[in-house]
């Protein structure tokens, strides 16, 4: 388990998945970039390979690092989040969560709301849900939306109301505090006014819409308390399902078995 970047949630989720499966886990906590640390990603991965680890779960702050790491490792490597690029097991868990509640994925309207620009969760989920036949929408302020979304599978909305109108799933993204300091947003309050999913704004979505958040959430910002803890919220199911799909992914890698996720 190779975490170059701190991530308690994903790390615990993978550890728990390994515990259930009876796999032994070795933790390697790197910090910062290869440049700061003095050892390159290449050398770290080659070291693990020659310590005969059978699989690697890797989190790194650089987009594309999982692909690079896999090249050096050769064997199974699970991307536990690479920069702003992808977080595939999160998307698998989210898809399972929606499937449990809705019984299907095709034909659903999925609105992904918030800081799309910096979100690997948004990217992986857009691929996941569009592949399964859902209609994906990206919703957020222009300052947090890439200038061109032409290569990502979803329509872009800058207005929350039209963006989540009729949506079956409203997936909120985490808003980082640094978006205020880099001039993309004036304040959390401004974001709340424009994009908070709460009991009022959720009425714009489908009647039986469910609300998701990959965590950790800023309570009262992306979501209000009542919605986060309410009956439409599946946020904790996402957490549980995250463990199950990570078990499935690990088992599939080792046994090559098809699993139903």
Partner 1 sequence: MRTVFKNGRIIDPSQELDVVGSVIVEDGQVVDLGEDIEIGEYDELYDCEGLWITPGLVDLHAHLREPGEERRETIKSGTQAAAAGGFTTICCMPNTSPALDSPSLVDFILDKAASPEAGGIFVQPIGALTKGQRGLELADLAALKKAGVAAVSDEGGPIQDASVMMRAMEFCLQLDLPIMVHSEDLNLSEGGCMNDGPTSAMLGLTGIPRSAEEIMIMRNGVLALNTGCRIHFMRISTWGGVEMIRQFKYLGAPVTCEVCPPYLTLTDEHVGEFDPVFKTTPPLRTEIDIDILMQGLADGTIDAIASDHSPYAPYEVEVPFDEAPMGMSTLESTLAVTLTHVTHKGRLSPMETIRKLSTAPAEILGLDAGSLMPGHTPVAQITVIDPNLEWVFDATRTFSQGKNSPYHGWSMTGKAVLTFCGSEVYRCAHFDEERYELALA
Interacting span for partner 1 (CB under 8 A) from 17-25, 48-56, 100-108, 141-149: 141-149
Cβ–Cβ < 8 Å for 227, 202: yes
Q: Which of 106, 151, 178, 231 is the binder for partner 1 (CB under 8 A)?
A: 151
Segment near partner 1 (CB under 8 A), from 35-43, 95-103, 166-174, 218-226?
35-43
Q: How many angstroms separate the CA atoms of 132 and 126, rounded?
A: 10
| Residue closer to partner 1, measured from CB, 67 or 186 | 67
Long-range contacts of 30-38 (CB under 8 A, 24+ apart): 30/2, 30/3, 30/4, 31/4, 31/5, 31/6, 32/4, 32/61, 33/4, 33/61, 33/62
Task: Return d(Cα 204, Cα 211) in angstroms, integer.
Answer: 13
Identify which of residues 82 and 224 has a Cβ nearer to partner 1 in the complex.
82
Instruction: Provide the minimum distance between the beta carbon of 41 and partner 1 in the complex, in angstroms, as a whole number.
Output: 6
* Distance in Å, CB of 135 to partner 1, minimum: 19
Q: What would the DSSP string read from start to end of 80-115?
A: EEETTTB-HHHHHHHHHHHHHHHS--TT-EEEEES-
**Which of 242, 231, 209 lies closest to 113 in space, CA to CA?**
209
Position among 7, 16, 34, 261 found at the interface with partner 1 (CB under 8 A)? 34
Residue 35 makes contact with partner 1 by CB under 8 A: yes
Which range binds partner 1 by CB under 8 A, 76-84, 95-103, 128-136, 170-178?
Answer: 76-84
3-state percent helix, strand, coil for the chain, nearest multiple of 5? 45, 15, 40
Among 15, 20, 49, 83, binds partner 1 (CB under 8 A): 83
Binding of residue 147 to partner 1 (CB under 8 A): yes
Residue 29 β-bridge partners: 3
Residues shown for the chain: 261
What x-and-dash track marks residues 46-65 binding partner 1 by CB under 8 A? --------------x-xxxx
Q: Which is nearer to partner 1, 138 or 195 (CB)?
A: 138
Q: Give the residues lining the site for partner 1 (CB under 8 A).
A: 33-35, 40-42, 60, 62-65, 67-68, 82-86, 117, 120, 123, 146-152
């Amino acid at each position: 388990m190779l975490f170059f970047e701190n991530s308690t949630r994903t790390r615990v989720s993978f550890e728990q998945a390994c515990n259930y499966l009876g796999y032994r886990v070795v933790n390697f906590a790197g910090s910062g970039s290869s440049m700061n640390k003095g050892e390159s990603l290449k050398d770290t991965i080659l070291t693990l390979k020659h310590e005969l680890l059978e699989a690697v779960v890797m989190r790194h702050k650089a987009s594309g690092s999982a692909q690079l790491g896999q090249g050096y490792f050769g064997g199974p490597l699970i991307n536990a989040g690479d920069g702003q690029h992808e977080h595939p097991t999160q998307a698998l868990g989210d898809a399972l969560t929606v499937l449990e509640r809705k019984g299907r994925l095709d034909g659903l309207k999925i609105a992904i709301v918030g800081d799309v620009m910096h979100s690997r969760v948004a990217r992986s989920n857009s691929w996941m849900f569009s592949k399964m036949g859902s209609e994906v929408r990206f919703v957020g302020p222009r300052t947090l939306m890439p200038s061109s979304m032409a290569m990502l599978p979803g329509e872009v909305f800058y207005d929350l109301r039209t963006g989540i109108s009729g949506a079956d799933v409203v997936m909120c993204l985490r808003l980082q505090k640094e978006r205020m300091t880099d001039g993309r947003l004036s304040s959390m309050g401004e974001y709340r006014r424009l994009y908070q999913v709460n009991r009022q704004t959720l009425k714009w979505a489908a009647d039986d819409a469910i609300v998701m958040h990959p965590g950790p959430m800023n309570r009262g910002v992306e979501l209000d308390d009542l919605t986060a803890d309410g009956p439409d919220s599946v946020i904790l199911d996402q957490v549980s399902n995250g463990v199950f799909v990570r078990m499935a992914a690990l088992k599939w890698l080792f046994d090559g078995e098809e699993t139903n996720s």
